[in-house]
């Protein structure tokens, strides 16, 4: 029997609708809309697409979108000065500096300059520390979206064995922390893990976030496992086509015959990232105004 498909697109649409309802309630209580500032330096084509998508989604959710587009040769001091102005602006609840930045800019210095309470990407070391010790903070959008999908699918994760393939600060490490917080037994695997297929085969939950096309094969999986595929990889185009197809880090066609449930690529984890960004921005707005969050809603 083929695995159930975890429909991230539908879940994300529901989350965005919920955010919209509570964004309207926030505006009524606070006398202003929640605000997200997005900073784009340079003209990277993929980044431009992401920024447009974030702007559109923010406005559709009933929040203010503040875009700051800077030339690629912007000096680091000028970028840091803009971040400081946004930190001080009461209309701005969340700040997102679109990565990657041009090579002459220090990404870590820029992230460190963002107020942790406006760091809706969850990349600031303070928010990483809050997550590690179980305090409230902002969690990177992709792993939090994955966690929402897992909780919706499986309910209580206590005692389940989870393997996270990938150890990045953006996905792998925070994903492991979230799973630990849900009382799963967690292994972080990576390129130097001995017998990686054997390690993955133990897992009730597999989160693949390694950035290698279709690396995780069907025979790596425990029958009935829940598979969350974070990877987005474009294969070389076939003859007669100008674009290669998008695939994840998991061999979807094979894995679907073994897994109990699996996210597709595209249409799985991807739509969750922007939906969670909106959620994080609204949470920041409530906190910045000293208002209680809607119970259980976000």
Residues catalogued as catalytic = 54, 98, 121
- SS3 string, 221-254, reads CCCCCEEEECCCEECCCCCCCCCCCEECCECHHH
CB neighbours of residue 290 within 10 Å: 7
Q: Which residues contact 8 (CB under 8 A, 6 or more apart)?
A: 145, 149, 263, 264, 267, 268, 269, 270, 271, 272
| Rounded Cα–Cα distance for residues 226 and 262 (Å) | 6
**CA torsion, ordered 166, 172, 177, 178, to nearest 10 deg:** -120
Chain centroid to Cα 80, Å, comes to: 24
Lookup: tokens for 257: 């015959």
């Amino acid at each position: 029997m083929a695995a159930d498909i975890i429909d991230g697109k539908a879940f994300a649409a529901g989350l965005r609708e919920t955010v919209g309802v509570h964004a309207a309630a926030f505006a009524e209580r606070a006398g202003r809309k929640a605000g997200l500032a997005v900073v784009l330096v340079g003209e990277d084509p993929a980044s431009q697409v992401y920024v447009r998508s974030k702007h559109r989604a923010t406005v559709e959710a009933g929040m203010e979108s503040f875009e700051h587009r800077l030339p690629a040769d912007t000096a680091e001091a000028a970028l840091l000065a803009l971040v400081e102005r946004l930190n001080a602006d009461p209309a701005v609840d969340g700040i997102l500096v679109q990565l990657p930045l041009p090579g002459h800019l220090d990404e870590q210095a820029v992230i460190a300059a963002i107020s942790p309470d406006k760091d809706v990407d969850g990349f600031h070391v303070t928010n990483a520390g809050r997550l590690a010790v179980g305090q409230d903070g902002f969690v990177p959008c992709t792993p939090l979206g994955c966690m929402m999908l897992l909780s919706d699918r499986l309910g209580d994760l206590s005692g389940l064995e989870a393997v996270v393939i990938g150890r990045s600060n953006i996905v792998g490490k925070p994903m492991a922390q979230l799973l630990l917080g849900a009382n799963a037994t967690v292994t972080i695997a990576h390129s130097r893990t001995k017998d990686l297929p054997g390690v993955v085969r133990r897992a009730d939950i597999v989160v693949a976030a390694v950035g290698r096309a279709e690396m995780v094969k069907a025979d790596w999986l425990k029958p009935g496992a829940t598979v969350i595929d974070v990877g987005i990889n474009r294969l070389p185009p076939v003859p007669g086509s100008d674009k290669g197809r998008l695939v994840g880090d998991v061999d979807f066609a094979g894995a679907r015959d073994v897994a109990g449930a699996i996210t597709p690529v595209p249409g799985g984890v991807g739509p969750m990232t922007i939906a969670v960004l909106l959620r994080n921005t609204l949470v920041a707005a409530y906190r910045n105004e000293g208002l209680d969050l809607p119970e259980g809603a976000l």
